[in-house]
Structure 1
Amino acid sequence: MSRIAVYPGSFDPVTYGHLDIIQRGATVFDHIVVAVLNNSRKTPLFTFEERVALLKETTKHIPNVSVDSFNGLLVDYVKEKNLRIILRGLRAISDFEYELQISAINKHLDPNIETFFMMTNNKYSFISSSMIKETAKYHGNVKELVPEPVEKALLEKYKSPH
Protein backbone atom coordinates (compact mmCIF):
# COMPACT_ATOMS: atom_id res chain seq x y z
CA MET A 1 0.00 0.00 0.00
CA SER A 2 1.45 3.34 -0.98
CA ARG A 3 1.68 6.12 1.57
CA ILE A 4 -0.03 9.15 0.10
CA ALA A 5 -0.36 12.25 2.26
CA VAL A 6 -2.64 15.22 1.74
CA TYR A 7 -1.07 18.57 2.58
CA PRO A 8 -4.01 20.99 2.83
CA GLY A 9 -4.04 24.75 3.08
CA SER A 10 -5.28 27.96 1.57
CA PHE A 11 -1.78 28.79 0.21
CA ASP A 12 -2.58 32.48 -0.25
CA PRO A 13 0.21 32.67 -1.33
CA VAL A 14 2.52 29.68 -1.21
CA THR A 15 5.72 30.49 0.70
CA TYR A 16 9.13 28.88 1.10
CA GLY A 17 7.82 27.57 4.43
CA HIS A 18 5.08 25.66 2.58
CA LEU A 19 7.58 24.41 0.00
CA ASP A 20 9.89 23.24 2.78
CA ILE A 21 7.13 21.00 4.15
CA ILE A 22 6.16 19.79 0.66
CA GLN A 23 9.74 18.93 -0.33
CA ARG A 24 10.59 17.21 2.94
CA GLY A 25 7.22 15.44 3.02
CA ALA A 26 7.91 14.13 -0.48
CA THR A 27 10.97 12.31 0.93
CA VAL A 28 8.90 10.66 3.68
CA PHE A 29 5.72 9.76 1.79
CA ASP A 30 5.35 8.07 -1.58
CA HIS A 31 3.23 10.92 -2.87
CA ILE A 32 2.02 14.30 -1.58
CA VAL A 33 -1.27 15.79 -2.75
CA VAL A 34 -1.17 19.52 -2.08
CA ALA A 35 -4.85 20.32 -1.62
CA VAL A 36 -5.87 23.95 -1.95
CA LEU A 37 -8.79 24.78 0.29
CA ASN A 38 -11.36 27.32 -0.72
CA ASN A 39 -11.70 28.63 2.85
CA SER A 40 -15.00 30.46 3.35
CA ARG A 41 -13.61 32.17 6.50
CA LYS A 42 -10.89 33.96 4.57
CA THR A 43 -10.94 36.57 1.82
CA PRO A 44 -8.02 35.52 -0.36
CA LEU A 45 -5.77 37.85 -2.32
CA PHE A 46 -5.35 35.24 -5.04
CA THR A 47 -8.25 33.42 -6.67
CA PHE A 48 -8.68 29.71 -6.21
CA GLU A 49 -7.38 29.19 -9.76
CA GLU A 50 -4.36 31.45 -9.22
CA ARG A 51 -3.37 29.62 -6.03
CA VAL A 52 -3.61 26.23 -7.76
CA ALA A 53 -1.58 27.52 -10.73
CA LEU A 54 1.12 29.02 -8.47
CA LEU A 55 1.43 25.75 -6.56
CA LYS A 56 1.66 23.72 -9.75
CA GLU A 57 4.39 26.04 -11.04
CA THR A 58 6.39 26.01 -7.80
CA THR A 59 6.18 22.24 -7.23
CA LYS A 60 6.65 21.02 -10.82
CA HIS A 61 10.23 19.98 -10.04
CA ILE A 62 9.07 17.47 -7.40
CA PRO A 63 7.96 14.32 -9.26
CA ASN A 64 5.86 12.78 -6.48
CA VAL A 65 3.77 15.89 -5.78
CA SER A 66 0.44 16.79 -7.34
CA VAL A 67 -1.87 19.73 -6.75
CA ASP A 68 -5.62 19.47 -6.27
CA SER A 69 -8.34 21.63 -4.75
CA PHE A 70 -11.41 21.15 -2.61
CA ASN A 71 -14.32 22.83 -0.86
CA GLY A 72 -15.85 21.80 2.43
CA LEU A 73 -14.41 19.55 5.09
CA LEU A 74 -10.93 18.15 4.71
CA VAL A 75 -12.11 14.82 6.11
CA ASP A 76 -14.67 14.51 3.32
CA TYR A 77 -12.01 15.28 0.72
CA VAL A 78 -9.60 12.71 2.21
CA LYS A 79 -12.33 10.05 2.29
CA GLU A 80 -13.46 10.90 -1.25
CA LYS A 81 -9.89 10.35 -2.48
CA ASN A 82 -9.69 7.11 -0.46
CA LEU A 83 -6.70 8.36 1.53
CA ARG A 84 -5.80 8.21 5.23
CA ILE A 85 -2.91 10.58 5.89
CA ILE A 86 -2.93 14.33 6.46
CA LEU A 87 0.37 16.21 6.61
CA ARG A 88 0.43 19.51 8.52
CA GLY A 89 3.28 21.95 8.94
CA LEU A 90 4.11 23.66 12.21
CA ARG A 91 6.08 26.89 12.45
CA ALA A 92 5.99 27.46 16.19
CA ILE A 93 4.37 26.30 19.42
CA SER A 94 1.50 28.70 18.73
CA ASP A 95 0.56 26.64 15.64
CA PHE A 96 0.44 23.42 17.61
CA GLU A 97 -2.65 24.16 19.70
CA TYR A 98 -4.71 25.13 16.65
CA GLU A 99 -3.45 22.14 14.64
CA LEU A 100 -4.10 19.79 17.55
CA GLN A 101 -7.74 20.90 17.65
CA ILE A 102 -8.11 20.36 13.91
CA SER A 103 -6.55 16.90 14.07
CA ALA A 104 -8.80 15.98 17.01
CA ILE A 105 -11.99 16.92 15.18
CA ASN A 106 -10.75 15.12 12.05
CA LYS A 107 -10.07 12.01 14.15
CA HIS A 108 -13.54 12.32 15.67
CA LEU A 109 -15.12 12.54 12.22
CA ASP A 110 -13.07 9.64 10.85
CA PRO A 111 -10.96 7.50 13.21
CA ASN A 112 -9.09 6.00 10.21
CA ILE A 113 -7.43 9.28 9.30
CA GLU A 114 -4.00 10.00 10.76
CA THR A 115 -2.39 13.44 10.97
CA PHE A 116 1.38 13.83 10.79
CA PHE A 117 3.01 17.06 11.93
CA MET A 118 6.26 18.32 10.50
CA MET A 119 8.18 21.30 11.84
CA THR A 120 9.25 23.74 9.18
CA ASN A 121 12.89 24.65 8.83
CA ASN A 122 13.84 27.31 11.41
CA LYS A 123 14.77 29.79 8.71
CA TYR A 124 11.11 29.79 7.58
CA SER A 125 9.47 29.64 11.00
CA PHE A 126 8.50 33.32 11.00
CA ILE A 127 6.92 33.29 7.54
CA SER A 128 3.16 33.35 7.19
CA SER A 129 1.09 34.09 4.10
CA SER A 130 -0.50 37.01 5.96
CA MET A 131 2.90 38.55 6.70
CA ILE A 132 3.97 38.06 3.09
CA LYS A 133 0.87 39.84 1.80
CA GLU A 134 1.29 42.71 4.27
CA THR A 135 4.95 43.13 3.34
CA ALA A 136 4.26 42.99 -0.40
CA LYS A 137 1.33 45.39 -0.10
CA TYR A 138 3.71 48.09 1.13
CA HIS A 139 6.35 47.11 -1.44
CA GLY A 140 8.66 45.38 1.02
CA ASN A 141 11.12 42.81 -0.31
CA VAL A 142 9.71 39.26 -0.21
CA LYS A 143 12.24 37.80 -2.65
CA GLU A 144 13.81 35.43 -0.09
CA LEU A 145 10.45 34.38 1.37
CA VAL A 146 8.51 33.19 -1.68
CA PRO A 147 9.35 31.49 -4.98
CA GLU A 148 9.92 33.76 -7.99
CA PRO A 149 6.51 33.13 -9.64
CA VAL A 150 4.80 34.10 -6.36
CA GLU A 151 6.94 37.22 -6.01
CA LYS A 152 5.97 38.27 -9.55
CA ALA A 153 2.29 37.59 -8.85
CA LEU A 154 2.45 39.64 -5.65
CA LEU A 155 4.14 42.53 -7.45
CA GLU A 156 1.38 42.42 -10.05
CA LYS A 157 -1.37 42.39 -7.41
CA TYR A 158 0.13 45.29 -5.50
CA LYS A 159 1.63 47.37 -8.29
CA SER A 160 1.23 51.08 -7.73
CA PRO A 161 -1.19 52.85 -10.04
CA HIS A 162 0.64 55.60 -11.94
Structure 2
Amino acid sequence: MKIAVYPGSFDPVTNGHIDIINRSAKIFDKLIVGVLKNPNKTPMFSIEERIDMLKRVTKDISNVEVLGFSGLLVNFMKENNASVIIKGLRMISDFEYEFQMALMNKKLDDNIETLFMMTSSQYAYLSSSLIKEVAQFGGCLKGLVPDELIPIIIKRAK
Protein backbone atom coordinates (compact mmCIF):
# COMPACT_ATOMS: atom_id res chain seq x y z
CA MET A 1 0.00 0.00 0.00
CA LYS A 2 1.42 3.36 -1.05
CA ILE A 3 0.79 5.94 1.68
CA ALA A 4 1.44 9.67 1.29
CA VAL A 5 1.28 12.54 3.77
CA TYR A 6 0.13 16.04 2.88
CA PRO A 7 1.42 18.14 5.80
CA GLY A 8 0.47 21.68 6.70
CA SER A 9 -0.98 24.01 9.27
CA PHE A 10 -4.31 24.39 7.41
CA ASP A 11 -5.20 27.46 9.47
CA PRO A 12 -7.77 27.50 7.90
CA VAL A 13 -8.09 24.98 5.09
CA THR A 14 -8.56 26.63 1.68
CA ASN A 15 -9.96 25.43 -1.62
CA GLY A 16 -6.34 25.25 -2.79
CA HIS A 17 -5.64 22.69 -0.05
CA ILE A 18 -8.76 20.76 -1.03
CA ASP A 19 -7.58 20.75 -4.65
CA ILE A 20 -4.28 19.12 -3.64
CA ILE A 21 -6.06 16.64 -1.34
CA ASN A 22 -8.49 15.54 -4.06
CA ARG A 23 -5.78 15.11 -6.67
CA SER A 24 -3.38 13.32 -4.31
CA ALA A 25 -6.09 10.93 -3.10
CA LYS A 26 -6.46 9.74 -6.70
CA ILE A 27 -2.76 8.85 -6.91
CA PHE A 28 -2.15 7.08 -3.59
CA ASP A 29 -3.82 4.16 -1.84
CA LYS A 30 -4.03 6.27 1.31
CA LEU A 31 -3.50 9.98 1.90
CA ILE A 32 -2.91 11.25 5.40
CA VAL A 33 -3.51 14.95 5.87
CA GLY A 34 -1.04 15.82 8.63
CA VAL A 35 -2.09 18.88 10.60
CA LEU A 36 0.99 20.41 12.16
CA LYS A 37 0.99 21.84 15.64
CA ASN A 38 3.76 24.40 15.24
CA PRO A 39 5.00 25.84 18.56
CA ASN A 40 6.42 28.85 16.69
CA LYS A 41 3.04 30.01 15.37
CA THR A 42 -0.11 31.33 17.01
CA PRO A 43 -2.91 29.86 14.90
CA MET A 44 -6.41 31.26 14.54
CA PHE A 45 -7.82 27.76 15.12
CA SER A 46 -6.65 25.10 17.56
CA ILE A 47 -5.23 21.90 16.14
CA GLU A 48 -8.43 20.10 17.16
CA GLU A 49 -10.54 22.65 15.28
CA ARG A 50 -8.35 22.40 12.18
CA ILE A 51 -8.55 18.60 12.26
CA ASP A 52 -12.34 18.80 12.63
CA MET A 53 -12.68 21.20 9.70
CA LEU A 54 -10.55 18.97 7.48
CA LYS A 55 -12.50 15.88 8.48
CA ARG A 56 -15.75 17.66 7.59
CA VAL A 57 -14.59 18.62 4.11
CA THR A 58 -12.88 15.31 3.29
CA LYS A 59 -15.51 12.95 4.73
CA ASP A 60 -16.53 11.77 1.25
CA ILE A 61 -12.98 10.83 0.20
CA SER A 62 -12.67 7.24 1.43
CA ASN A 63 -8.87 6.98 1.39
CA VAL A 64 -8.16 10.23 3.27
CA GLU A 65 -7.35 10.28 6.98
CA VAL A 66 -6.75 13.47 8.96
CA LEU A 67 -4.27 13.35 11.86
CA GLY A 68 -2.50 15.93 13.97
CA PHE A 69 1.21 15.88 14.68
CA SER A 70 4.08 17.88 16.11
CA GLY A 71 7.80 17.45 15.78
CA LEU A 72 9.64 16.16 12.74
CA LEU A 73 7.60 15.22 9.71
CA VAL A 74 9.88 12.24 9.00
CA ASN A 75 9.00 10.77 12.40
CA PHE A 76 5.29 11.20 11.69
CA MET A 77 5.85 9.51 8.33
CA LYS A 78 7.54 6.51 9.98
CA GLU A 79 4.76 6.19 12.57
CA ASN A 80 2.23 5.99 9.73
CA ASN A 81 4.23 3.83 7.28
CA ALA A 82 4.18 6.63 4.72
CA SER A 83 6.88 7.05 2.10
CA VAL A 84 5.84 10.14 0.11
CA ILE A 85 5.39 13.76 1.18
CA ILE A 86 2.96 15.82 -0.91
CA LYS A 87 3.76 19.51 -1.15
CA GLY A 88 1.52 21.93 -2.98
CA LEU A 89 3.24 24.75 -4.85
CA ARG A 90 1.36 27.92 -5.71
CA MET A 91 4.07 30.13 -7.12
CA ILE A 92 7.76 29.82 -7.90
CA SER A 93 8.46 31.59 -4.60
CA ASP A 94 7.13 28.53 -2.74
CA PHE A 95 9.64 26.27 -4.46
CA GLU A 96 12.83 27.55 -2.82
CA TYR A 97 11.61 26.94 0.74
CA GLU A 98 9.90 23.64 -0.11
CA PHE A 99 12.96 22.38 -2.00
CA GLN A 100 15.13 23.12 1.04
CA MET A 101 12.68 21.22 3.26
CA ALA A 102 12.59 18.28 0.82
CA LEU A 103 16.38 18.03 0.89
CA MET A 104 16.40 18.11 4.70
CA ASN A 105 13.72 15.42 4.92
CA LYS A 106 15.70 13.28 2.45
CA LYS A 107 18.82 13.75 4.60
CA LEU A 108 16.89 12.72 7.72
CA ASP A 109 15.36 9.66 6.01
CA ASP A 110 16.61 8.51 2.62
CA ASN A 111 13.48 6.35 2.12
CA ILE A 112 11.15 9.34 1.95
CA GLU A 113 10.39 11.09 -1.33
CA THR A 114 8.76 14.48 -1.83
CA LEU A 115 6.24 15.00 -4.61
CA PHE A 116 5.66 18.62 -5.62
CA MET A 117 2.20 19.23 -7.02
CA MET A 118 1.25 22.49 -8.68
CA THR A 119 -1.95 23.99 -7.33
CA SER A 120 -4.61 24.47 -9.99
CA SER A 121 -4.31 27.97 -11.46
CA GLN A 122 -7.67 29.10 -10.05
CA TYR A 123 -6.24 28.68 -6.52
CA ALA A 124 -2.64 29.80 -7.09
CA TYR A 125 -3.13 33.07 -5.18
CA LEU A 126 -4.79 31.51 -2.11
CA SER A 127 -3.14 31.21 1.27
CA SER A 128 -4.48 30.70 4.76
CA SER A 129 -2.98 34.06 5.75
CA LEU A 130 -4.92 35.85 3.01
CA ILE A 131 -8.12 34.05 4.00
CA LYS A 132 -7.73 35.23 7.58
CA GLU A 133 -7.09 38.80 6.45
CA VAL A 134 -10.10 38.83 4.12
CA ALA A 135 -12.30 37.41 6.89
CA GLN A 136 -11.06 39.92 9.47
CA PHE A 137 -11.99 42.81 7.19
CA GLY A 138 -15.39 41.40 6.23
CA GLY A 139 -14.54 40.33 2.70
CA CYS A 140 -16.34 37.57 0.80
CA LEU A 141 -14.90 34.07 1.29
CA LYS A 142 -17.12 32.39 -1.33
CA GLY A 143 -14.98 30.25 -3.63
CA LEU A 144 -11.92 30.61 -1.41
CA VAL A 145 -12.74 28.05 1.28
CA PRO A 146 -15.27 25.22 1.47
CA ASP A 147 -18.75 26.76 1.83
CA GLU A 148 -19.56 24.92 5.05
CA LEU A 149 -16.52 26.50 6.76
CA ILE A 150 -17.32 30.12 5.86
CA PRO A 151 -19.50 30.80 8.96
CA ILE A 152 -16.89 29.22 11.24
CA ILE A 153 -14.08 31.33 9.81
CA ILE A 154 -16.10 34.55 9.85
CA LYS A 155 -17.15 34.00 13.46
CA ARG A 156 -13.54 33.41 14.58
CA ALA A 157 -12.21 36.38 12.62
CA LYS A 158 -14.45 38.85 14.49
Q: TM-score range by the shorter chain?
A: over 0.9
Q: 2:36: which partner in 1?
A: 37
Conserved 8 A contact 2:33-2:65:
yes
1:149 CA drift (Å): 2.7
TM-score norm. by structure 1 comes to 0.95
Aligned: 1:145 with 2:141 = no
CA RMSD in angstroms, aligned pairs only: 0.8
Instruction: State percent identity of aligned pairs.
Output: 54
Residue 87 of structure 1 aligns to a residue whose secondary structure is strand
TM-score (ref. length: structure 2): 0.97
- Residue 3 of structure 2 contacts residue 81 of structure 2 at CA under 8 Å; is this kept in 1? no
8 Å CA contact 2:132–2:157 kept in 1: the answer is no
Structure 1 gap segments, 5+ residues each: none
Name whichever of 121-130 and 63-72 sits farther off: 63-72
Tell me if the contact between 1:9 and 1:37 (Cα under 8 Å) persists in the aligned partners: yes
- Counterpart CA distance in 1 for 2:86 and 2:45 is 23
> Distance in 2 between the 1:37 and 1:158 partners?
21
Q: CA separation in 2, counterparts of 1:52 and 1:120? A: 21
1:8-23 mapped onto 2 (5 Å cutoff): 8-23=7-22
For residue 45 of structure 2, give the secondary structure of its aligned residue in structure 1. coil
The one-letter code sitting in structure 2 at the alignment partner of 1:93 is I
Please give the alpha-carbon distance, in whole angstroms, between the structure 1 residues aligned to 2:149 and 2:14. Answer: 8
Structure 2 Cα separation of the partners of residues 56 and 121 of structure 1: 22
How far apart in 1 are the matches of 2:117 and 2:157?
32
